[in-house]
Structure 1
């Protein structure tokens, strides 16, 4: 399970919590412009936009979790097991394997508007990367420097592209149902609530924050969707990069999962392995991990983006405590 957001202030920021129970050795990677993509059902692509993100690397191929390109388009894939459905290769369609969707769109698109155009005649195929990496059930959130966000879902009824007015995505159910769920919480407020229950009675408002009394706080995808939408919509706008990045991490950390709270199998627990924040305007990826709260950063423009080979950095680090005394 995961949570992804798009946060707009002086710049535009995109990223996610990756919540899972298995570490696949993800790394921060930069895919330079001349790295060759050999697609399964499309011609090889020898040059494209450069991008930076978090990925598993297998046989020198990036199996991307999330990334942004040099034009300011960002994509993240989130678990969608149940409603998700991929199709056999369809003649006359642009057949994109699920593991190819992020690199293909980042290689060729500058905006969510261009993504809509390129997916109009596309199908997400059920081709697996390998026997060790079967096609994962995912849906995707995308954002660009306009601040606009869309959601892409492939279900048995076809490939759907939805405008995303709240700039949040988690997991099941399908995105329109997630939006409908928000109606149950429209009276949640950061302010202390007005007494409409018994207006003529002086009710003791015994605590601050009672306007959020009914806000859900579970680990489930629907609860995280509602809470992230609330926190994001009321988050302050920073005056500079440090304030914006700080605000962003506080938004996603409000729905992070600690170990021991979400049991997925007997004595196996899902938790927030990493949180990343990618500046769509500057090409910088910031990240924290479960075992290291310090914000680390990688700037794609400090590398040779005209290279041919993947550039990798370690993601998972040990805790970095600043001892003052």
Structure 2
């Protein structure tokens, strides 16, 4: 269970909550331009666009959960169980990619959303895991740049590429449901409600926020989609970098999971392990973790993009209190 969204104010910002009952060996990882990216069946990218994001680096391969490349294209994979479907093998004349290869391959190869869309139309996602102990993750993806967003879902009906005018993605059901579900919330507003119920009588709301009566507050995917879209759409913040990053993280806070409030079918408490905000235009990754609310900033600088090895930045997970 996760939430991702885009926020544009000068730069393009890309926010994401990682909601899981466990950690996956995640760290902030920079993949420089000349670090070879191999695939199971689609060859090797010996050179490519540099990228930064959150990843596991088992086998010295960047298994990205979300990332942005140096051209401002960003992408995240979100849990999509029961609907994600991968082919047993690729079809002739198409690029066969394992699901874990999709983010680094697209971000490494494409500078724009239009280029990525064109490439996706040639891709078959195949049921090939990375290796022992790392099973296939059932995923769908949000892909964005300053021009807009797409949602990518491969189901038994095939590869589906949807325009995403909302710039928001959560989990199940498939994206067409979320696109239609938004229509149920048209009356919601950030402003105080008018008395349309009984105009002859002077009626006023109990207090502030009543214009959003009916805004979902639970942790389901459909509810998080609506609440994220509402908060994003009505967001007000300054033009400076600090204000924008802070605002993205506040929107994510509105749909974050408190440990124990959601329990998996196996009995494990779900939680928001980390929240991140990527300034995709400038190549800067910001994050905070469940127990450490202090925001860490890591930049994809030109020097870091020219390296020959993966750069791995372990997460700051422990509480960090400022003493006065």
Normalising by structure 2, we get a TM-score of: 0.97
Tell me whether 1:181 sits opposite 2:181 in the alignment.
yes
Question: 5 Å matches for 1:72-87?
Answer: 72-87=72-87
Backbone CA RMSD of aligned residues: 1.1
* Contact map agreement 1:238 1:247 (CA 8 A) in 2: no
Name the counterpart of 1:160.
Answer: 160
Give me the whole-angstrom Cα distance separating, in 1, the residues matched to 2:275 and 2:110: 25
Give me the whole-angstrom Cα distance separating, in 2, the residues matched to 1:92 and 1:73: 26
**Residue 29 of structure 2 aligns to a residue in which SS?**
strand
CA displacement at 1:238 relative to structure 2? 2.2
Name the counterpart of 1:101.
Answer: 102
Name the counterpart of 2:214.
Answer: 214
* Contact map agreement 2:189 2:212 (CA 8 A) in 1: yes
CA displacement at 1:212 relative to structure 2? 1.1
Worse-superposed segment, 47-56 or 263-272: 263-272
5+ residue gaps, structure 1: none
Give me the whole-angstrom Cα distance separating, in 1, the residues matched to 2:312 and 2:240: 28
Normalising by structure 1, we get a TM-score of: 0.97
* Contact map agreement 1:6 1:167 (CA 8 A) in 2: yes
Tell me whether 1:291 sits opposite 2:291 in the alignment.
yes
Give me the whole-angstrom Cα distance separating, in 2, the residues matched to 1:216 and 1:311: 40
* Contact map agreement 2:218 2:224 (CA 8 A) in 1: yes
Name the counterpart of 1:278.
Answer: 278
Name the counterpart of 2:225.
Answer: 225
1:8-61, Cα deviation, whole Å (9 max, x unpaired)? 002110130000001122000000011111111112111100000000110111
Give me the whole-angstrom Cα distance separating, in 2, the residues matched to 1:212 and 1:316: 36
Give me the whole-angstrom Cα distance separating, in 1, the residues matched to 2:146 and 2:203: 47
Q: Give the total of aligned pairs.
A: 323
CA displacement at 1:253 relative to structure 2? 0.9
Give me the whole-angstrom Cα distance separating, in 2, the residues matched to 1:10 and 1:111: 17
5+ residue gaps, structure 2: none
Give me the whole-angstrom Cα distance separating, in 2, the residues matched to 1:68 and 1:33: 13
Tell me whether 1:140 sits opposite 2:168 in the alignment.
no
